[in-house]
Amino acid sequence: MIRKIVHIDQEKCDGCGLCVPSCAEGAIKIVDGKAQIAADNLCDGLGACLGDCPQDAITIIERDADEFDEAAVEQHLQAQGVAHGGHGAAAHGHGHQAAAPVEAKPAQPAQHGGCPGSRAMSFAPKTPDAEAPAATGPQPSQLAQWPVQLHLVPVTAPYFRDADLLITADCVPFAYADYHRDFLAGKAVVIGCPKLDDNGAYTQKLTELFRVSGIKSITVLRMEVPCCGGIVMAARQALAASGMEIPLREVTISIRGEVVER
């Protein structure tokens, strides 16, 4: 059938992931560094994601596509462990055919739409390893500078000169218990959140920093959630724009505080 559906221009898309949490149906995913529609029947064509693309890569077009399927959306979100927040076509009264009744399930707390990174979860803290030596006292902070927020740091600050730079998504130190010891020690650091801030501004600031500071190496420390990929993209785009040759390493931390990619 011919209907309205989201179109993502792969040439413009930089894979920042900011559109992912905007889709309550979970229809957008990041594949090989680009945003894509997971399946036509998951997209209601309403365009809630339009205003969240800094590259203007998302538009609404009309083409032959499978009909939007609310039941398929429910199954898709349940497979991801996300409760549907009722933002689909039925909730908007958009005139799509009503989905078949779904078997009633116990009520669950309302959760954010289609972004796994915004899904509310609870899990028990890890118990200390009985064989590991107990800490004998407060551990010293490895932070050697201030400020640390990427918007606030001056690119000409002396602590950046010939430094190893740690670019940290701001949720990482909460998830990774040994952040100071394993990553921060001996490095200059900047932090940011590509989901809540302007990723384009991050790219511009990092570009200037790479050009003037003499940075020796870059480590980008991100969370495993899709939208956190934006901070990696900002760093890579800034490095390319700066014209500098600086080794860059990406490290991914799970929400349980484990290194999942190094």
> What's 203's domain CATH number?
3.40.1360
| Residues 111 and 176 grouped into a single domain | no
* 211 domain residue, yes or no: yes
15 & 108 share domain: yes
pLDDT(111) > 80 = no
> With 90 as the cut, is the pLDDT of residue 108 above it?
no
Give pTM, 2 decimals.
0.59
**How many domains in the chain?**
2
Report pLDDT for 135. Answer: 61
Please check the confidence at residue 31 and state whether its pLDDT lies above 80. Answer: yes
Lowest mean pLDDT among 33-42, 119-128, 221-230: 119-128
Same domain, 24 and 101: yes
Give domain status of residue 139, yes or no. Answer: no
| Residue 76 pLDDT class (50, 70, 90 cuts) | confident
Out of 116, 148, 169, pick the residue that ends a domain: 116
Both tokens assigned to 130: 């009985």
Range of the structural domain that residue 163 is part of:
158-261
Cα(11)–Cα(81) distance, integer angstroms? 31
Tell me: do 98 and 171 sit in the same domain: no
Which of 55, 85, 116 terminates a domain? The answer is: 116
pLDDT band at 102; cut points 50, 70, 90: very low
The pLDDT score that the predictor gives to residue 200 is 87
Q: Are residues 90 and 169 in the same domain?
A: no
User: What's the pLDDT score for residue 262?
Assistant: 57
Q: What is the pLDDT of residues 157-176, one digit of tens each?
A: 999 999 999 999 999 999 99
CATH code, 13: 3.30.70.20
If asked whether residues 108 and 213 sit together in one domain, one would say no
Distance CA 19, CA 13 (A): 10
CA-wise closest residue to 180 among 131, 142, 227: 142
> What confidence tens digit (pLDDT) does each residue in 123-159 have?
565 565 656 565 677 889 999 999 999 999 999 999 9
Tokens 């959306």, residue located:
73
Higher per-residue confidence, 100 vs 235: 235
Answer whether residue 49 is part of any domain: yes
| Token representation of residue 103 | 């078997």
Is there a contact between 26 and 73 (Cβ–Cβ < 8 Å)?
yes
What one-character-per-residue DSSP string does 159-181 give?
Answer: GGTTPEEEEEETTHHHH-TTHII
On whether both 110 and 176 belong to a single domain, the answer is no
Q: Determine the length of the chain.
A: 262
Q: Which of 116, 134, 149 is the last residue in one of the domains? A: 116
Q: Assess if residue 145 is contained within a domain.
A: no
152 falls within a domain: no
Cβ contacts of residue 73 below 8 Å, gap of 6+? 25, 26, 27, 42, 84, 88
